[in-house]
Amino acid sequence: MPGPEPALIADIGGTHARFALVQPDGRIGEMVVLRCREHAGPVEAVRLFLDRVGPSLPPATAAFAVASALSGDWVDLTNSSWSFSIEAVRLALGLRRLQVVNDFTAVALSVRHLSPADLLPLGGGTAVDGAPIAVLGPGTGLGVSGLVPTPSGEWVALATEGGHVTMAAANGREAQVLEWLRGRFGHVSAERVLSGPGLVNLYRAVCALDGVTARDAIDPPWVLDQAAAGACGPCREALDLFFAMLGTVAGNLALSLGAKGGVFVAGGILPRVRDAFAASAFRSRFEDKGRFGPYLSGIPVWLIVHPEPAFAGLTGLCAEG
């Protein structure tokens, strides 16, 4: 049985770390967002968080979602300078138990518990009960996971590094863009174009191909804002490419997993431009798989608009044991 102490949950990405406390009855308290680069590591960030929220009892258990591949005790964040030993963090924070999972594993664990209000439908038919579910989403990186049923009726979330698959072109323009990016990066993964930094990469590639001088100091929000305002042609094309290429990758993932249970698209970028995304070429590209177009046309896709879906998955982990 859970004790009277709250549990600590954290969603640690390449840019931000989000913290909250979960009460024994499952209620999630105030979320505090900290910038990773402003803190030496998770121990220091957690201590600052606890100082701010001042719980009556310190947490005894915790669950962290991290934007990193996991193997053993050592965690090395993919797009952040943070690295740490799970056991050392547990001891430093005085925790009885600390579970660490991939960030998109946590999102995958949450999708079966999201309400209709947390989801924006993006076409397709009806989800097949008990069929695999695909989850992906662009943020600081490109997260990819899946939820697979077991014969006993439980669900297993997959920890993958599917964001680093090789990005393929679906037309001549994309081939030109990827060729330019290969000249800069060598291998061009899906994450190189389908992430916050990836959106900037697409903008720079479009500018170079069209002979337009790219702005030096830009960030993903600038590209999004310029595209939305219609103030920058290369920004608009970069965003259109982003949507279409994400459709290609989402369709590939759905085929690979046999995801007739549906595809959930998450991450911090798309909810900001949800209307443009819903009206984009994403869905047509998702289904553009030749003979398997009809197979994909029946698979429903949703954009997760819940502000912190990983917290739902982490709350479930804290309740176990």
Count Cβ atoms within 10 A of the Cβ of residue 166 and give its class: 0-12 exposed, 13-18 middle, 19 or more buried.
exposed
1 within domain boundaries: no
Residue 166 in tokens: 């090789």
124 within domain boundaries: yes
Neighbours of 229 (CB within 10 A): 10
108 within domain boundaries: no
More reliable by pLDDT, 54 or 283: 283
Same domain for 14 and 152, yes or no, is: no
Same domain for 133 and 147, yes or no, is: yes
Same domain for 96 and 124, yes or no, is: no
Looking at residue 260, what DSSP letter applies?
T
Same domain for 154 and 88, yes or no, is: no
Residue 287 has pLDDT above 70, yes or no: yes
Number of domains present in the structure of the chain: 2
Q: How far apart are CA 283 and CA 100, in angstroms?
A: 33
**Residue 79 has what pLDDT?**
74
Q: How far apart are CA 205 and CA 222, in angstroms?
A: 16
Residue 321 has pLDDT above 60, yes or no: no
Tallying the residues shown for the chain, one arrives at: 321
264 within domain boundaries: yes
Same domain for 98 and 83, yes or no, is: yes
Same domain for 160 and 64, yes or no, is: no
More reliable by pLDDT, 67 or 191: 191
Phi, psi (5° rounding) for residue 217? Answer: -95, 95
**Residue 104 has what pLDDT?**
83
Which residues have a Cβ under 8 Å from the Cβ of 42 and sit 6 or more positions away?
A: 10, 12, 17, 64, 82, 84, 89
109 within domain boundaries: no
Same domain for 193 and 47, yes or no, is: no
Same domain for 232 and 268, yes or no, is: yes
Same domain for 138 and 93, yes or no, is: no
Mean per-residue pLDDT, 203-224: 96
- Reference 69, options 61, 79, 56; nearest CA is 79
**Which domain does 94 fall in, by range?**
7-102+309-319
**Residue 1 has what pLDDT?**
42
- pLDDT per position as a tens digit, 130-151: 999 999 999 888 989 999 999 9
Residue 244 in tokens: 């279409």
Mean per-residue pLDDT, 276-298: 98
